[in-house]
Amino acid sequence: MEEHLQGRIKLHDGRYLAYKERGVPKDDAKFTIVLVHGFGSSKDMNFNVSQELVNEIGIYFVLYDRAGYGESDPNPKRSLKSEAYDVQELADGLEIGSRFYLIGISMGSYTVWSCLKHIPQRLAGVAMVAPVVNFRWPSIPKSLMPKDYRREVAKWSVWIANYFPGLLQWLVTQNMFSTTSMLEKNPVYFNDQDIEVLKHIKGFPMLTKEKLRERGVFGTLRSDFLVAFGDWDFDPADLPDPSLSGPEKGSSSVHIWQGYEDKVMPFQLQRCLCRKLPWIRYHEVPKGGHLIVHYDGICDAILKSLLLGEDLPMYKPKAVITEPA
**215: CB partners within 8 A, 6+ apart:** none
CATH class of this structure's domain 3-133+233-315: alpha beta
**211: CB partners within 8 A, 6+ apart:** 205, 217
153 confidence band (pLDDT: 50, 70, 90): low
Q: Among candidates 54, 154, 145, 170, which has minimal Cα distance to 110?
A: 154
162/66: higher pLDDT: 66
Whole-number percent of the chain with pLDDT over 70: 77
Tell me what pLDDT residue 4 has: 60
Q: What is the mean pLDDT of residues 184-192?
A: 71
Distance CA 131, CA 255 (A): 11
Q: For 267-310, what is each residue's pLDDT tens digit? A: 988 999 999 999 999 999 999 999 999 999 999 999 999 999 99
Any bridge partners for residue 153, and if so which?
none
**183: CB partners within 8 A, 6+ apart:** 189, 203, 204, 207
176 confidence band (pLDDT: 50, 70, 90): very low
**64: CB partners within 8 A, 6+ apart:** 17, 18, 19, 20, 34, 35, 36, 43, 72, 90
List helix spans (H) across 173-311. 179-183, 192-198, 209-212, 215-229, 267-276, 298-303
136 confidence band (pLDDT: 50, 70, 90): confident
210/109: higher pLDDT: 109
**Is the pLDDT score of 109 beyond 90?**
yes
For the chain, the domains span 3-133+233-315, 149-229
Question: For residue 138, how many C-alpha atoms fall within 13 Å in the half-sphere facing its CB?
Answer: 6
What predicted TM-score, i.e. pTM, was given to this entire model? 0.87
Distance CA 165, CA 104 (A): 27
Look over the chain and give the mean of its residue pLDDT values, rounded to a whole number: 85
Q: What is the mean pLDDT of residues 213-239?
A: 89
